[in-house]
A and B are shown apart, each in its own frame.
Chain A
Amino acid sequence: MNVIQAIAIVVLKEMVRRKDFYVLFIITALITLLMGSINIFRDQSIAGYLKELALLLIWICSLVIAISTTARQLYAEKENRTIFPLLAKPVSRAQLLLGKFFGCWIACGLALFVFYLFLGIVAASREHTLDVGSYLVAMLLHWGALAVVVGMALLGSIVFAAPSSNGTICFVVALGILFLERHLNTVALQTGGWLGNVIYGVYFITPRLDWAFEVREFLIFHNPMPGIVIWTQALLFYGAYAAMLLLAAWLLFRRRALNT
C-alpha cells in the first residue's frame, strides 16, 4: 500500500509542477468571466448560459488533464529508463499500475474541486443561492467517470505505440461516449438487422460516461439531482469498470518486455 501511495504522490507532484492545469484553469476562468461580463438586456442575474458554458469547458479540460496526464506516465518512465530501477525496488507491475492510476485520478479530483469551486462561486454570485449538495453530486459523478477515462488511458498506454496516438484515441472514444452513448439504443432499434444488434451490443458494453455528463443539465435548469441510491450505483458502476480496465492493463503489462 505504501508503494502505491508513494508512486501516486510522485504523479501528483508531477501534475503540480507541470503547467497544464494552470493554463486550462485560467482559460476556463477567462472565457467564463468574459461571457459573464456581456450585457444581456441589463439583467445581471442570468446564470444558465454561464453555467452551461463553464460546465462544458470543465468537462473538456478535465478530459484533457485526465488523458494527457495518464497517457504519458508509462511512456515517460520507459523513455527515461526510470522504470528499471522503479521495478527493481522491488515494486511489482501491478503496484506500479495502481500507483499511476490513483495518482492520476486523485490529481483529476483536485483539479475538479478547483473547477467546481470556481463554478459555484460564479453561479452563486449571479443567482445569490447555491445548492451545494447538487454541485457535490455532479462533481462526484464527474470524478467517478474520470476514473474510467484514466483506466482507459492507462490501458491505451500499454496497447498503443505512442502517447499521442493513445491520447487521441482515448479522447475520441470519450467524446463519442459522452455525446452518442445515450442514443445508441434508439439508433440500434431504428437500424435493425445484424447491424442493429451490433450497435445494441456496443450500447451495453461501453462505459456510461454520459450519466455524469448529462447531470450538468440538472445544475443548469435547477432540477433535482438523482437520489443517493441512484448516484451511488452509478459510482459503483464506474468503480467496477475502472477496475476491469486496470485488470486488463495489468494482464497485458505483466509479461510485456520493457525495452520496447
Chain B
Amino acid sequence: MNNDALVRLVEVHKIYRTGEMEVPAVRSVSLEIRRGEFVALMGASGSGKSTLMNILGCLDRPSSGQYFLDNADVSDLDRNQLADIRNRKLGFVFQNFNLLPRTSARENAELPLVYSAQHLSRPQLRERADRVLASVGLAGREDHYPSQLSGGQQQRVAIARALINEPEMLLADEPTGNLDSRTSVEIMAIFQQLNEHGITIIMVTHEQDIAAYAQRNVAMRDGLIRDDHLVTRRSDAKNQLQHLSASTL
C-alpha cells in the first residue's frame, strides 16, 4: 500500500434512485491523491463532480467501491463516525460561505471545536480562533458579524473555520464562485500558501483559470473521470497580486 496516498478511491459508484429509475451519478471512479497535492476537480454540472466531492468529504457514502482516507477504509462507517472524521481530518469551504448569521467571525471559526476539543479552555479556544483568523488576514475583525464583512472576508472566515482543527485535507466547492476576480485571486493565494505548508486541497471548479492555480486537474463527464493531468503552466496567485497592486499604483 502506498503510504503517500491520502485519498484512494477504488471502483467507487454512486447511484441515486428516483422511483423506479436508477440514476448513476458516479460510475467506477478510481483515484489516488497524494499528501500535499492541490487538485482541481472539474466538469460541467451533472458531471458527477459534486457527488464525488460529497463522498470525498465524508458527507455521503459510495453505493459500492471503497474509499481509503489516510489508509483507513471509510466507505462503511456510520453517520457518527463520518461526523468525527469530518471534524478531525477534513475542512470545508463552500461557494456561499455558509457562515452562521449573527455570529461573530471568531465564533464561526470556533464552530468545529464545539464538537471536539473538550480539553481546551475558553481562553485557549479563543486564542486558537484568533490565531487562525490572523493567518488568513482577518486580524482585528474577530468580532465582526458576517453581515459586516465583504464576500472575500466571509470566505476567509470560512477558511479559518476549515483550518481550526488542523485537518489533513481542505475540500473547497466552487470557493470563488461568488467572488469577483481580484478577490478570487486573493483566495487562491491563501490556498496556494496553505498548500505550500503541506495541506492537501481538493477544489471543485468549472473555471479553467481557477483550476490553473492547482497542481493537478481532474475532469469528469457523465460520472467518469475523462482527464487527469498535471498543470504545466501553473498560475502563481501571489505574483499576480503583486502585479495587480503595481498596476493600480
Say if A and B assemble together.
Answer: no
Interface of B toward A, CB cutoff 8 Å: none
